[in-house]
Amino acid sequence: MEVKELIGKVYRVSGPLVVAEGLKARMYDVCRVGDEGLMGEVVGLVGDKALIQVYEDTSGIKPGDRIENTGMPLSVELGPGLLKSIYDGVQRPLPALKDASGDFIGRGIDAPALDRDAKWDFRPVVKKGDKVNGGDILGSVQETEFIEHKILVPPNVSGVISEIYEGGFTVDDTIAVLEDGTELKLSHKWPVRIPRPYQEKLPPNIPLITGQRILDALFPVAKGGTAAIPGPFGSGKTVTQHQLAKWSDTHVVVYIGCGERGNEMTEVLEEFPELEDPRTGKPLMERTVLIANTSNMPVAAREASVYTGITIAEYFRDMGYDVSIMADSTSRWAEAMREISGRLEEMPGEEGYPAYLASRLAEFYERAGRVRTLNGNIGSVTVVGAVSPPGGDFSEPVTQNTLRIVKVFWALDAKLAARRHFPAINWLQSYSLYADTLAEWFNENIAPDWSELRKWAMTVLQEEANLQEIVQLVGSDALPESQRLLLEVARLIREVFLQQYAYHPVDTYCDLKKQYDILKSIKDVNDLFYRALESGKLVEEIIGVEGVDEFARAKFEEDYRSAIENAIKKIKQNLGVE
């Protein structure tokens, strides 16, 4: 038998798939292909040949070209400097790529993920002679004003500290030495396809607060939970994802633009440094890691991008932070899998997707969770995945397989988007399996009647949907008075509470107290309406009553509370009820 080396030859090239000959390779080893050293990953072994998916354009690669196996799986570099970064799907910083190859992305460029020259002020919390295990905190550096970057012992390392240093170091400098001679640095590497270990998973019973009324109040997601946003194009997936990335109350946000539009990533890049985090008053970028693999960038790197993103998220989780990760869109990721599977000539499953689609999706979402970390802290990773179903048809495989896993479903609706009802989340189709577990938290922390109000609003909306079917047939005039009033109240819930303007400076973010106040005041108006009806007012008079328009606009005011009070006062006067 032929002796195999870490250096082999190209046997065949077909698009992003390269077949290597005479190469010693294990599954998921990273290889360098051709003179330019294009990066690729082993995705299959057949006889003496290795199948490699290449992360860059393979034009010009020919049989006989050299392939080198690095012997390492695809890994990310974890350490200070991650925040504020913008990477491609395999963690190459885009600004460095621009410096190296100009405005267009060239081939075979290698750029270190973390800044090699930056010095970080390291303060140890362990001392010589301490025993440390994987995941333990050695000390910390202040990465941004509000994020203290804990320096962790790599999860697979343990031992007794023989040396520990303090002061300014780069990510390559040694900051501690173990008795067995292992040198620990500010950064370490971790393979992206292997979840980082933790002690145990904890029940998700704290809500992720997004400042979006329909999400927080009607369909909340828990910290450490999973949510999916499926919707046809133009229904507002990306805007919703951006809103979540902006306003979620997590310490760190990882945003993955997976196979999406270049201009949208640019929008994030231009906007985030300008926007303030509502909790710290600092630019949002200071807590954000962006991963941008736009639709025209190589497909294999797109497949890797979600793993890169979630591994970075897990790393911050291990420091004890709450992290949220937005993947826009997981359909593009699934399509990348399909494309590569097709090139590998695998037997296709439903709609050409590989048969392992469901298990890959499940594996990905299972990396979410609220956990007790190896060092005993509590951290969480919340995953929100956008899904782009072809033709807006939710019965397609990616949507269906995702729904089997995630606990929260925010269904975007093209019809709502067409009437400019945003966020275009359909309140009848969406659901949250956390609603009951989180009700307790809301009742305790915001208002004791929170869950009661939520139930009331949901009932009115459901009732409205039933009545609409009749209205479609006979017109609203044929309904009894109390039902016509209900339609008006439902309209208020929809237009005042559910509609929220992402681009309005005040309305873009709505804290929980304000959410409660608005919903509660709609309930108050509802009660006034019914009292007026009982006292003999005509339904036309009630619906057209002056003050309602003012009430509807109150949410746009900085001082919304007095605006609401004034409007309600007006409504009371005009209706003649208390």
Residues 320-379 binding another protein (CB under 8 A) are: 332, 335-336, 338-339, 342, 345, 348, 351-352
CA distances from 156 to 133, 153, 185, 191, 510 (A): 8, 8, 14, 12, 43
Query: Residues 43, 292, 371, 489: which binds another protein (CB under 8 A)?
Result: 292
Q: Give the residue with the Cβ less far from another protein, 414 or 458.
A: 414
By the rule CB under 8 A, 485 interacts with another protein: no
The stretch among 243-251, 255-263, 403-411, 440-448 that binds another protein (CB under 8 A) is: 255-263
The stretch among 100-108, 305-313, 364-372, 512-520 that binds another protein (CB under 8 A) is: 100-108
> What DSSP character marks residue 285?
G
CA distances from 399 to 60, 89, 307, 315, 392 (A): 38, 23, 19, 28, 10
What are the two backbone dihedrals, phi and then psi, of residue 408, each rounded to the nearest 5 degrees?
-125, 135
**Of residues 326, 356, 56, the one with CA closest to residue 210:** 326
The stretch among 58-66, 170-178, 183-191, 437-445 that binds another protein (CB under 8 A) is: 58-66
The stretch among 245-253, 375-383, 388-396, 423-431 that binds another protein (CB under 8 A) is: 388-396
**To the nearest whole angstrom, how small is the minimum distance from the Cβ of residue 464 to another protein?**
15
The stretch among 216-224, 232-240, 315-323, 480-488 that binds another protein (CB under 8 A) is: 232-240
Q: Under 8 Å CB-to-CB from 435, ≥6 apart: which residues?
A: 219, 220, 454
Q: Give the residue with the Cβ less far from another protein, 223 or 332.
A: 332
**To the nearest whole angstrom, how small is the minimum distance from the Cβ of residue 497 to another protein?**
15
Q: Strand, helix or coil at 543? A: helix
The stretch among 118-126, 198-206, 219-227, 549-557 that binds another protein (CB under 8 A) is: 549-557
Where do the DSSP E strands lie in 298-421?
Answer: 322-328, 369-372, 378-387, 408-409
By the rule CB under 8 A, 525 interacts with another protein: no
Query: Residues 26, 98, 128, 455: which binds another protein (CB under 8 A)?
Result: 98
CA distances from 396 to 2, 5, 268 (A): 46, 44, 29
State the DSSP H helix or E strand holding residue 364, giving kind and residue range, or none if neither: helix 357-366
Query: Residues 263, 274, 559, 578: which binds another protein (CB under 8 A)?
Result: 263
Q: Give the residue with the Cβ less far from another protein, 403 or 414.
A: 414
Q: Which residues pair with 132 in a beta bridge?
A: 159
Q: Strand, helix or coil at 184? A: strand
Query: Residues 47, 116, 503, 558: which binds another protein (CB under 8 A)?
Result: 503
**To the nearest whole angstrom, how small is the minimum distance from the Cβ of residue 528 to another protein?**
19
Query: Residues 70, 174, 266, 562: which binds another protein (CB under 8 A)?
Result: 266
By the rule CB under 8 A, 265 interacts with another protein: yes
Q: Give the residue with the Cβ less far from another protein, 314 or 396.
A: 396
DSSP per residue, 469-500: HHHHHH-GGGS-HHHHHHHHHHHHIIIIII--
By the rule CB under 8 A, 103 interacts with another protein: yes
Q: Omega into 329 within 30° of 0, i.e. cis?
A: yes
By the rule CB under 8 A, 111 interacts with another protein: no
Look at the chain and count its residues: 578
| Neighbour order of strands in the sheet with 159-164 | 131-132, 159-164, 174-178, 183-185
Write each residue from 69 to 88 as x if it is in contact with another protein (CB under 8 A), else as -, in one continuous string. -----------------x--
By the rule CB under 8 A, 273 interacts with another protein: no
DSSP per residue, 110-177: ---SS-SS--EEEEES--TT-EE-TT-EEEEEE-SSS-EEEEEPPTT--EEEEEE--EEE-TTSEEEE
**To the nearest whole angstrom, how small is the minimum distance from the Cβ of residue 49 to another protein?**
10
Q: How many residues bind another protein (CB under 8 A)?
A: 76
**To the nearest whole angstrom, how small is the minimum distance from the Cβ of residue 58 to another protein?**
5
By the rule CB under 8 A, 545 interacts with another protein: no
CA distances from 493 to 50, 232, 284, 476, 523 (A): 59, 25, 31, 18, 9
**To the nearest whole angstrom, how small is the minimum distance from the Cβ of residue 543 to another protein?**
11
Query: Residues 47, 281, 391, 536: which binds another protein (CB under 8 A)?
Result: 391
